[in-house]
């Protein structure tokens, strides 16, 4: 980690690098604000923060085309924001407001942004993996040159859905990058307690899916690995399993105080925080001026404040929305005359 070799990331231009920095800061500040609003009971339900894992979504996003498919589980705020979903629409969704990106019907775990090809936002561990198999299969069926990126946690690879999907993805050589965000804990259970093989990238081998592990706390390493994986899939070689070794600073969800790990462990991981690492790289290697970074940080603060204001001031869904969107045409059972 001391001398990272950044491969394809060495070729990123300054504008792209600054955008990646902006996204990292946005995801961090947005989630800090989310935690605050959850504490104020403006946000309900299960709410899983992305703090600590930002480099994964941001690094991968930089490696994607705008029309590639992105799909993830319930820890989905970061992926939506990295895809470009306006922060106000994400915050409004969590507030349960009509202006949310799912009209207030999904909440924190079910964010969608179909115009930006972000397909959610799914609440059952591992269930999004067969869905990603389906979107990638559709791309191959149509020959549309899209790649599907599917995120899941390291605990999801113990689901049958993971293995069934990887077998078919490999059998039919569909363009899917399966990205395991290995934050080392499935809720409160460490991976060593749940998994016989803790090196997740090896778990594709039974299905002939090549894998690689990458430092998921380093956005440039993340980009490099993701770009190579995405290119591999787009070239028609079949799926790829990328293990991003990351860490979440907070509990599994807002209701988890995370007492199953030590303060020392968390402090040790924080030393590898992706935001100062990219900041140092930009100022030392790319000669970016401090002022420029401060300006980005200040703008993000404003954007996040504006997102909360937007959510706060947005209307609640109309009661008529209760029965909308169940079927293509409204069906109200029990109304025979």
State the residues that interact with other proteins by CB under 8 A: 69, 100-106, 110, 112, 114, 119-124, 127, 129-135, 137-138, 141, 160-161, 164-165, 167-168, 171, 324-328, 331, 333-337
CA distance 226 to 93: 29
Residue (263 or 327) nearer to other proteins, CB: 327
- Beta 148-153 vs 69-72: how paired, if at all? parallel
DSSP structural state of residue 71: E
- The kind and range of the H/E element at 119 are strand 118-121
Q: How many CA atoms lie within 13 A of 330 on its CB side?
A: 7
- Collect all residues with Cβ–Cβ distance below 8 Å to 121 and sequence separation of at least 6: 72, 74, 76, 80, 102, 106, 109, 110, 111, 112
Q: What are phi and psi of 81, to 5 degrees?
A: -65, -40
Q: Tell me how far, at minimum, the Cβ of 92 lies from other proteins, in Å.
A: 11
Q: Tell me how far, at minimum, the Cβ of 183 lies from other proteins, in Å.
A: 23
Residue (319 or 333) nearer to other proteins, CB: 333
Q: Tell me how far, at minimum, the Cβ of 286 lies from other proteins, in Å.
A: 38
Residue (165 or 220) nearer to other proteins, CB: 165
Q: Tell me how far, at minimum, the Cβ of 188 lies from other proteins, in Å.
A: 23
Q: What are phi and psi of 230, to 5 degrees?
A: -65, -45
Q: Tell me how far, at minimum, the Cβ of 161 lies from other proteins, in Å.
A: 6
Residue (148 or 183) nearer to other proteins, CB: 148
Residue (41 or 327) nearer to other proteins, CB: 327
């Amino acid at each position: 980690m001391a001398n990272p070799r950044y491969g394809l990331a060495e070729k990123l231009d300054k504008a792209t690098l600054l955008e990646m920095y902006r996204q990292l800061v946005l995801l961090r500040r947005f989630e800090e604000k989310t935690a605050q609003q959850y504490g104020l009971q403006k946000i309900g339900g299960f709410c899983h923060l992305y703090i600590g894992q930002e480099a994964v979504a941001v690094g991968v996003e930089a490696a994607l085309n705008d029309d590639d498919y992105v799909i993830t589980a319930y820890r989905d705020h970061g992926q939506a924001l990295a895809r470009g979903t306006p922060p106000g629409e994400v915050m409004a969704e969590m507030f349960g407001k009509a202006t949310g990106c799912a009209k207030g019907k999904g909440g924190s775990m079910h964010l969608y942004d179909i115009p930006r090809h972000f397909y959610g936002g799914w609440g059952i561990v591992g269930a999004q993996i067969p869905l990603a198999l389906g979107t990638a299969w559709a791309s191959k069926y149509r020959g549309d040159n899209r790649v599907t990126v599917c995120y899941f946690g390291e605990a999801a690879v113990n689901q049958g859905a993971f293995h069934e999907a990887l077998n078919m993805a490999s059998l039919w050589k569909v363009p899917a990058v399966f990205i395991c965000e290995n934050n080392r804990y499935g809720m409160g259970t460490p991976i060593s307690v749940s998994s016989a093989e803790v090196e997740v990238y090896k778990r594709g081998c039974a299905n002939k899916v090549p894998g690689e592990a990458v430092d998921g706390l380093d956005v440039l390493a993340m980009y490099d690995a993701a770009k190579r994986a995405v290119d591999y899939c787009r070239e028609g070689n079949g799926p790829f399993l990328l293990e991003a070794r990351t860490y979440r600073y907070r509990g599994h969800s807002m209701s988890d105080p995370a007492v199953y790990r030590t303060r020392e462990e968390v402090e040790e991981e924080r030393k590898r925080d992706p935001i100062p690492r990219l900041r140092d790289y930009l100022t030392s290697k790319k000669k970016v001026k401090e002022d420029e970074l401060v300006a980005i940080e200040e703008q993000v603060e404003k954007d996040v404040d504006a997102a909360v204001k937007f959510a706060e001031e947005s209307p609640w869904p109309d009661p008529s929305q209760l029965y909308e969107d169940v079927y293509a045409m409204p069906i109200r059972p029990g109304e025979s005359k």
